[in-house]
Structure 1
Amino acid sequence: MSTTTKLQTTPSQTLPHHHLSHVLSISFDHYGRRFATASYDRTVRVWDLNAEGVWMGSSLDNTSGGANNEWQAHKGAVWDVCWGHPEFGQVLATAGADHAVIIWEEREGGFKSLATPERNGGFLDTNVANAGGAATEAASRWVNKATLTDARRAVKTVQFAPRHLGLRLASGSADGVVRIYEALDTMNLNHWKLDGVIEAEVEETTDNEGVPDRGSEAVSSNENMGVSSLSWCTGRFEPPTLVVGCSSGRVSIYRYMDGQRSWVEAIRLPNHATSAGVPRGVLDVAWAPNVGRSYHLIASCGKDNQLKVHRVKRSRGGKGDADGASSSTLVYEGTEVLDQNQSWRCQWNVTGTVLASSGDGGVVRLWKSDFQGRWKCVSEIVGDMAGAEASSNQ
């Protein structure tokens, strides 16, 4: 007998996002009272929850109270957006198809930008406003503090590190490389250093003379290469650790080793399956927050229509620091396939006990393990699709 229940979200608020193309990423802030949307139309919008429980933020929405929360962020599609911890202020990082990661900081007033430039061919055109003043000039609250351009191809994913690791972020790009950056001064976000590089999926080829070639041309010729998703381990007593999902279907855990002063692959988790030799690709990965467990849980979903939960045991041995962090090792214990439906995104709750997955059809499924450790879908949240269609037709 199935324990799945279907929940209709009532009351619900349908938000016309006003982007001119697909929304590629949504990210909530630490407290869940703000979220940012990133779009293929090169723009980012920030939404705020007011005292009445209504989300506001689009400059085209008369209830939003202003145009300060939308801007053109990149010269190409904005593939991902994420929030920094509020301890470091109101900080956003965006990943773009223009090979860049950009750090944005919210400032109150005094900074001029074109908040609502004219539309040109479905995209924002800032040149129109500069030439003829056709757009309205307003005080912009979001300022470009730093542009990180080390990637050779589009940056697909970006995520800030847990607060205890300082103001760091990791980015994954289509060249198969994960790059870790650290702010040199948390009070001045203009300066960042490249603090680590992980070649997660750089495939060796040979030139005409048989010499290994790891250049950008070899990488770009392989359409299945690239980092598609990543997630930090939030454990305070663990070394810096990341799980990385690749377009080839590969899922790997990387850890920073003090002795080697470099990132190394600790565990390679089961791949997402291939079909007829064609890699299906990983769409999302999520590392569960750990609240007193002796093991870690990592979720991954891919184009093979599988949602997986991987269990990795923590073990400590040998000599290390007082908290045992340097002697911590990871041991792979097993993987359970939860769903055979297409899942595009997966995310854990704050305690790491409930996994949410979203896919086609406007359905969010919530998963939880029973006392025997078996994962089951405990509820399905169905959005107000009729309301969304009506809003889009207006």
Structure 2
Amino acid sequence: MDKSILTLDKGTRCTAWNYSGQRLAAGLVDGSLLIYDSTDPASSTFISTSRFKVQESSILKVVWVPPEYGDAVACIGADGTLSLWEEVTEDTEGHHWKLCKCFDRNTSQVLDIQFGDAETCLKLVAAYSDGQIKIYELLDTLELEKWQLQAEFQNVIDLVSNFGHASCVSASISWNPQRSEVQQSSFVLGFSSNVPALNSPKVWEFDLDHQRWLPVAELSLPEEKTDQVSAVAWAPNIGRPYELIAVATQKGISIWHLGSNPDADGRLSAQKLATLSGHDSEVWEMEWDMSGTTLATTGSDGMVRLWQSNLNGMWHEQAVLTPAS
């Protein structure tokens, strides 16, 4: 018989496991953040150890900072704010969570964020409702409040393009999980917006020679460039000579092959391997396993589907997980 490991509080809007799977952060509609900790890893039971107010509006997303930088989470609020909270230990108060950083929002709202752990420093990429992308760098590995804006641009191939008012309702970011001294930082990002050029997923890579971010690939066929993107996921690579990236739109889930050798213009080859159909509605989240061979997807149909490719490279649905009635 299935056993419940914890019961989430009423009003939970989003959750996120930390990297070890021993802590769970949950954002609530009242703007509170709850931290659940494992009481005994052998029994897989969790209890709430902290609850604190982050903001007045609902928390839409929580993201853990990479573990080598301590126990910290970033929170996106329904009002479009982005804040960073860290667990600290003080002699007078013991363990408690403190606000490290509130990132400037101006008039646009934060839609999605992801941390990328480069060789030089921790980076954070944020996508905004006006179609802008901002890259922040951590200045001091021991001071999570010290960030600087490193770059700001739009998700377009033609960097001199000028649009009217862009209105984006969602965005999805996925960093290249590969860590290598010879491989530059890169991530894929797609929007769901009223500007078609912003929507199609682009792979961005940091050009070390010119100290700027460049679009090196576009993951959409000519007839798909206007499709709004709901989720992207970059697969871990444990030895393939190419990369795998999943892209979800209203037409289904696409699996893309991304080459590793740039052409004379610095662009990487991109080939669509498969289109996966199974979800009856919008795909919300996608996640690869640690080997980068199994893709888990979930959406508004309430189903979790697992996808794999066979020995001939054909992608198929491996399993379907349905919610308990």
TM-score past 0.5 threshold? yes
Q: 1:194 aligns with which of 149, 155, 165?
A: 149
Match of 2:77 in 1: 96
Cα 1:383–1:213, aligned 2, differ >3 Å: closer, same or farther? closer
Say if 1:173 and 1:226, in contact at 8 Å, map to a contact too: no
Deviation string 1:356-378 (CA, Å, 9 cap, x unpaired) is 00123432111111111111111
**Aligned residue pair count:** 313
Give 1:147 shift: 0.9
The whole-number CA distance in structure 2 between the counterparts of 1:45 and 1:96 is: 15
1:232 to 169, 175, 178: 175
Q: 2:20 maps to what in 1?
A: 31
1:99-140 deviation line (CA, Å, top 9, x unaligned): 43211111135687xxxxxxxxxxxxxxxxxxxxxxxxxx76
Which of 179, 189, 195 lines up with 1:244 in the alignment?
189
* Aligned-residue offset at 1:183: 1.4
- 1:106 partner amino acid: E
- 1:369 equivalent to 2:319? Answer no
Task: Spell out, residue by residue over 1:190-213, the C-alpha distance to the aligned partner (whole angstroms, 9 max, x if none).
Answer: 211011223126999xxxxxxx97
For structure 2, the 5+ residue unaligned runs are 194-198
* Structure 1 residue 273, shift from structure 2 partner: 7.8
The question of 1:337 aligning with 2:275 is answered yes
Q: Work out whether 1:260 is the aligned partner of 2:210.
A: yes
Q: Greater relative contact order (Cα 8 A, min sep 6): structure 1 or 2?
A: 1
Local SS of the residue matching 1:26:
strand
Check 1:40–1:245 CA distance in 2 against 1; reply closer, same or farther (3 A cut). Answer: farther
Contact in 2 for aligned 1:254/1:265 (Cα 8 Å): yes
Equivalent position SS for 1:87: helix
Asked if structure 1 preserves the Cα contact closer than 8 Å seen for 2:123 and 2:136, the reply is yes
Q: Which of 275, 282, 286 is residue 229 of structure 2 equivalent to? A: 282
Letter of the aligned partner of 1:252 in structure 2?
K
Q: Secondary structure at the match of 2:260?
A: strand
**How far off its partner does 1:329 sit?**
5.4
Shift of the 334–184 alpha-carbon distance from structure 1 to 2, 3 Å rule, reads same
Percent identical residues:
24
1:34 aligned partner, one-letter code = R
- Asked whether the 8 Å contact 1:228–1:245 carries over to 2, the reply is yes
Alignment of 1:121-160 (within 5 A): 141-160=96-115
Which structure has the larger Rg? Answer: 1
Query: Residues 306 and 106 (structure 1 numbering): CA distance in 2 closer, same or farther, change over 3 Å?
Result: same
RMSD: 3.1
**CA–CA separation in structure 2 for the residues paired with 1:234 and 1:353:** 14
Q: Which runs of 5+ in 1 are unaligned?
A: 1-9, 58-65, 113-138, 205-211, 319-326, 387-394
AA aligned opposite 2:47:
M
AA at the equivalent of 1:331 = S
Match of residue 254 from structure 2: 308
Residue 55 (1) aligns with residue 2 (2): no
Cα displacement (A) at 1:165: 4.9
Residue identity matched to 1:311 = H
Contact 1:99–1:154, Cα closer than 8 Å, also in 2: yes
Match for residue 115 of structure 1? none
Q: Distance in 1 between matches of 2:255 and 2:22?
A: 28
Bigger Cα displacement from structure 2, 27-36 vs 335-344? 335-344
Q: Secondary structure at the match of 2:24?
A: strand
**Are the aligned partners of 2:57 and 2:79 in contact in 1 as well (CA < 8 Å)?**
yes
Relative to structure 1, is the Cα distance of residues 329 and 234 closer, same or farther in structure 2, using a 3 angstrom cutoff? farther
Deviation, 1:80, is 1.9
Match of 2:2 in 1: 11
